[in-house]
Amino acid sequence: MNLQAYITSGILELYVHGLASPDDVREVEAMAEQHPEVQQELDNIRKVLDSYVGAHGVQPPAGLKEKVMQRLDGAPVGRPKGSQNSEQIAPPMRSYEPRAPREPGIASIATWVLGAALLGACVAVFLFWQQAERADVQVKAAQYQMEQVRKDCEAEKAKANEVKEQFIAIRHWATKPVQMKATPLGGDAYAVVYWNNVKKTTYLDLGKLPQPAADKQFQLWAIVNGKPTDMGIFEVAPADSLIKIDGQFIENPQAFAVTLEPKGGSQSPSLDQMWVVGNVAKG
């Protein structure tokens, strides 16, 4: 198996989530040892999972830190066994040893001042770091949301353009509406074709066509010299009831009709499945 295929197979994700079988675990670990790419991918997955988990973080209740610290008192040392005697439960933090002070008073004040200043600086730097990290997550979140908004905006723009185009096409002086009325089969269905011999465009207003069964689709036909010409199948989308009929423009239709066909459409219309039909007015 090539390395890339192995990396993208999903086994590494399985491993990181602790779901891999013992055999798989051995295999992944061997692969990671041999191939730095595998190791890197593992690290990446882990980092992403950790971030996701971290995003579920919750501010712990006040006082929990104190409880945690209290529990530590009396806890055995965190050192590996045998490396230290038990007296040194909490060795002091590394501290600055003042150099042989000549004047003890001033020196110890200086030490305190220096210590306090260092501590202050450490706290400040830590707080700053923490804030910077939080800000980074916020920026990423904002960027992501921005990207979503931009996409939404583009989708809206495209939709608005389409509506504008439809509006222009239908208002055009040469546009002829062809009302298609229901056959006995069609019940109260109707639909309208907007046919424009100058702009060479055809629009179909779905009017009141029902949603067909899953294995059926409506198909639009133009009748030219008494013969049906296929104008394509279409979906009944309630939210978007005007659709542009692409494909070849029909020059001299006498009528338009819609039939219900098996999914994918038919070569020639099933005449007993005609739902709506309408003649094109002459002139």
Binding site for other proteins (CB under 8 A): 8-11, 13-14, 17-21, 44-61, 64-65, 67-69, 71-73, 75-81, 84, 88-91, 93, 122, 125-126, 129-130, 134, 137-138, 140-142, 144-145, 148
Q: Which is nearer to other proteins, 54 or 104 (CB)?
A: 54
Q: Which is nearer to other proteins, 125 or 185 (CB)?
A: 125
| Spatial strand order in the sheet of 274-279 | 227-234, 216-224, 255-262, 274-279, 175-182, 190-196, 201-205, 242-244
121 vs 94: CA distance, rounded Å: 16
Amino acid at 47: K
Q: Which is nearer to other proteins, 18 or 105 (CB)?
A: 18
Q: Which is nearer to other proteins, 84 or 211 (CB)?
A: 84
Q: Which is nearer to other proteins, 110 or 137 (CB)?
A: 137
23 vs 9: CA distance, rounded Å: 16
Q: Minimum distance from CB of 60 to other proteins (Å)?
A: 4
Q: Minimum distance from CB of 242 to other proteins (Å)?
A: 31
Q: Minimum distance from CB of 23 to other proteins (Å)?
A: 12
3 state SS of 277: strand
Q: Minimum distance from CB of 71 to other proteins (Å)?
A: 5
Amino acid at 189: A
Q: Minimum distance from CB of 44 to other proteins (Å)?
A: 7
Smallest CA-to-CA distance from 218 within 256, 272, 273, 255 is with 273
Contact of 141 with 52, CB cutoff 8 Å: no
Q: 93: buried, middle or exposed (CB in 10 Å: 19+, 13-18, 0-12)?
A: exposed
